[in-house]
Structure 1
Amino acid sequence: MEHFTLSQVLHVSDPHFGTERPLAMAALEQLCRTLKPDLLLVTGDITQRARREEFAAARAFFDRLAVPRLLLPGNHDIPLFDVLSRVLRPYGRYLEAFGPALEGEFEREDLLVVTLKTTRRYRHTQGEISASQIERAAARMAQARPGQLRLVAVHQPVAAVTPDDVDNLLRGRARAVQRWAEVGVDAVLGGHIHLPYVLPLRQRWPALSREVWAVQAGTALSHRLRGGINNSVNVIRTGVSDPAVVERWDLNDASGQFERVAVTPIGGDVAAQG
């Protein structure tokens, strides 16, 4: 068997710069220094109102973390009140801050991550995924090497745990998850609703050809908390003989640190785990 160092992905979502908490920022910097992740994955809503100063603050913060990063825009990263920019250059300020790409990928020996832009300028909060995006991700995942953990990242969730979030679900999710299961995708990562959870998607779609997991991150930095859950991030660790795992890390205000509060395996059969 080929020997390599197992990968760590720090999954961060919805920092909402413009509403960020200094305590959470300092704690996330400390977590990065401690874990030294191989990838910082940010699943959207980087800013609160898509203002240039918010993007500049986000860029400066991510630069300080000094970790390879992969970002995608959320609905808050499109101007809301600047109608002209929303129509003509909806992602202009995002691109000024983070470069020319709205989608991307990251690969190591044991990991393949693909990001897809699911926000649309003609939608306010809801997202959608097109047939071409589904197939583009499927074609790339079909090329993955044996043993690679295969992750697709979007902004809006593909599964909800509360009735209030049904309207926030990604449009086109059923077709996407079914297709990606066929090519071996392990998990679909998202944010948007500020609730962290990990769900096996065969509970929603029993006919899936293999188990696929929904991995949601809370808000990493914002004071816009929800559900009594403090700022929260995920750490995803690949596995070889053991399944990959998702670790949920919540901010402890008293200690000023992110602390691990849950670990969920995302490999193998759900029935075998329980």
Structure 2
Amino acid sequence: MSAMVARAPLHLFLAGNPFRGALTDGLFFRDKMRAIHRVAPDLTGSQILEIGGGRSGLTKLLYPDAEVVNLDADPGVADAACNLQAGQRLVTGSATALPFEDESFACVTMFDILEHVEDDALAASEAMRVVRRDGVIIVTTPSRERWRYPHYRFMRPLCPPEERLLREWGHVRRGYRQEELDALFGRAAEATGSFVNSGLALSHDIAFSKLPRPLRFAAHVLAAPVSLAGWLANRPGSPGAEIAATWRKPGSPD
């Protein structure tokens, strides 16, 4: 019988926020983590594949008792602390040609990955191939309808153009509608959520602005009431600039 693997308690998961400045530049990432936690189920099985995990170790933070394989295209992330810890190993490879047998994992995570992959349909198909029956795929990605940078027009003089930022981040598309994601994975999502609402979008604007770090910190302090209101207002089902969703592979052939 497969072992049950539970999510970390939310407060412990959030405490591991790998983004620098967890309550300033990293506040949007904290909101992303909360959205992931909301849509992520406890698992039957301890083997998890994280696609494009890089240096964050986010999946291992979410499922600390799991055995995590971090597949990343960059071999340079091998020295990251998360890839040297017990219970996680790095494999260099591509999201569109996963070097694993069919139905090898109880869960596959793809956090902000699909928007970077030219052949996203093949990446989704590969994720579905290697996940076990009744296993899950957990995805985050920008919302094509709601994400923009900067979110607030008054921030434009302080921010790089959106096109430059997306190019630097390696995007091949801005993001997705929920129905486009459902089409990629061949079924409706089992659970959906969102993050970075209009209140937290100001913090996101500041985090990636052209301001020097000391001025960014001061701007975050000034924006704190708006950011706090955004954090408190983000309930399950509320709209946001980014999407978190989970799909479950059927337990028997369709």
TM superposition score normalised by structure 2: 0.37
Give the TM-score normalised by the residue count of structure 1.
Answer: 0.35
Q: Which has the higher helix share?
A: 2
